[in-house]
Structure formats: C-alpha cells, structure tokens
Amino acid sequence: MSRAEDRQARASTRNGWLLSVPALLLLLFAASGPLVIVIVYSFLTPGQYGNVVWGFSPDGWIGVLFTRDIFDDTLGLADAHLTIFWRSVKLSLETTVLTFLAGFPTAWFIATRPPKARALWLFLITIPFWTNLLIRTFAINEVLRSEGLMNTVLMKLGLISAPIQVMYTDTAVLIGMAYVYLPLMVLPLFAAIDRFDMKLLEAGYDLYASRWQVLRHVILPIVKPGIVAGSILVFVPSLGAYVTPRVLGGGKNMMIGNFIELQFTQGRNWPLGAALSLLLLIVVMVALLVYVRAANKGSNPHG
C-alpha cells in the first residue's frame, strides 16, 4: 500500500470515528451513566426515609440473599427473596414455553397462507401492540375474575357450579404474560418459517419419516434461529415484568420487578433495590449468553 493510500485509509477511519462520536456519547451518558449510578447506590447505606447515605456498606448485596435479625443482628436466609426470585424465573420460563407452543402453530399457519392472506394475518397479530400494556392486562382481568367471561361461560354451560378462583395466582400471571408476549414469539418464528423450503418436507416423507420425525429432525433444526430469537424476546421482558404481575398477581404473587419497585417506595431501601436491579441485569445477560450459545451450537455442524 502506498503512502497516499495509507493516509486515505487513516483519514477514512478517523472520519468514521468522528461521525460515531455523538452516538458514543449518547450511549455513554444515557445508558452507561444510569448503570454506574445504580452500581454505586448498591454499595451505599440506606437512608432512614429513603434515598441513601454516602457511606460504603455491603448491606444492599447482603440483603439480596440474607436478612438480619432485629435482636442479635445475625444473618439468616431470606426465604421470601428467594421465593420471589424463583417465581420470576419459573414464570418467565413457563411463559416462554407456553408462547412457543401457541406461537409455533400460529406462525406455521400464517407462513403457509397465500401472500395476501399472510399480510392480513400478520396485521392482526400486530394489533395488540396498538393498545397500552395496562389496558391489555385489565382486559385479561375481565376474562379471569370470578364474575368474568370465563367463569360466566363455564357456569352457563353447567361445567362448574361455582366460580373458579384464578385471579391473584401464579396461573393468572402466567396467562396474562403469555397473552401479552405471544406476538413477540410469533413474529420471529414466522420470519424463520417463511424462509423454510417446503420441498424438504416432501423429501422427509419420501424417506418414510413420520410427521414427528420430520418435525424433530427437519423443521425444528432449520427454524431454530427463530425459536431462539422468540425465546429471548419473551423471556427477557417476562423476567422483569411489572404491570402484569401487579394487576393479576396482587400483592402476594409479586415478581422481581414488583419487589424492586417495593424497595424504592414503601421499603425505602434504595441500595437493596439497586442490588436487585443489578442481579436482574446479570440474570438477563446470562440467559442471553445461554440462548446465543445454543443458537451458535445448533448452527455449527462441528459444534
């Protein structure tokens, strides 16, 4: 490479960095800045009426897993915190599985329609995004409550004699989150299935494979990137969900998002709330790494 070409390459690189400076500054102050504040707050002393006292204390992180006895200051396992955390992970995984079981047939149906009908079905799938999340959650509330649509229909059909108590349970939260996040599973699955070569199905049947074998060995491996993308899009917001567990789960069936909000409001323990927020961030990052690793392993024939 000549000197002129070398200078031109360096100038091009320098101009590229200069053009990216506004975006880098935005990421630094709008994304990294708040994260640094949360990290600092998690190592401070909680104030008496909220906020923080500017003195180092590990109590925020200790309080994630342990509680101090009010009499002898000994540490004991925080069973309530672990229960909330486990409920959050469990419901998020169940929501991901439920949306996949409902979303895969839906995406397959849409992808196999004629182009004009396919556009209409995709339009219908995106309609829920036009409505506020809180309104959609209250709509599920009207379906599941004791005097709601579900119990009314079942009682008129004579299938039950008394209303089924579904509200303020983990089941209600699961149904609500599956309804809210179902489009986030359908759309990536549709994008993967839409690129699927249907001739592979004929090849599988010609080789005397059963429908289950074709699904397991032909369809699922090829559409795996869509499954991974949909799982990420559903699991991550489900883990930090706040509105749906608050409305459908009540005060006792809270998830980690509600527990974090409680620490910053009624609990007045900002360091614990900050530590829980960072713990949620770490769990989400680990989940993303697992999903990405699974996707790469599936796409690498030598992995």
pLDDT tens digits, one per residue of 85-116: 999 999 999 999 999 999 999 999 999 888 88
pLDDT at 30: 79
Give the pLDDT of residue 297. Answer: 67
Mean pLDDT of 31-44: 88
pLDDT of 108? 92
In this prediction, residue 41 carries a pLDDT of 93
Q: Is the pLDDT of residue 1 over 70?
A: no
- Residue 202 CA, distance from chain mean position: 36
pLDDT of residue 301: 43
Quick one: pLDDT at residue 259?
A: 92
Among the residue ranges 121-130, 167-176, 184-193, 199-208, the one predicted with the least confidence is 199-208
pLDDT greater than 80 at residue 16: no
Q: What is the pLDDT of residue 181?
A: 94
- Would you state the pLDDT for residue 303? 44
Q: Please, which residues have CB within 8 angstroms of residue 49's CB and are 6 or more apart in sequence?
A: 268
Spatial separation of the C-alpha atoms in residues 168 and 145, rounded to whole Å: 9
Mean pLDDT calculated for residue range 138-156:
90
> So what's the pLDDT on residue 302?
47
pLDDT confidence band for 173 (50 / 70 / 90): very high
Phi, psi of 46 (to 5 degrees): -65, 140
Three-state secondary structure call for residue 44: strand
**228: number of CA atoms within 13 Å, CB side?**
18
pTM (predicted TM-score): 0.84
Residues of the chain with pLDDT > 70, as a percent, come to 96
Q: Answer whether residue 75 shows pLDDT above 90.
A: no
**Residue range 182-211: average pLDDT?**
88
Q: Give the mean model confidence (pLDDT) for residues 131-159.
A: 89
Among the ranges given (33-37, 107-111, 296-300), the one the predictor scored with the smallest mean pLDDT = 296-300
DSSP states along 45-89? EEPBTBSEEEEE-THHHHHHHEEE-TTT--EEE-HHHHHHHHHHH
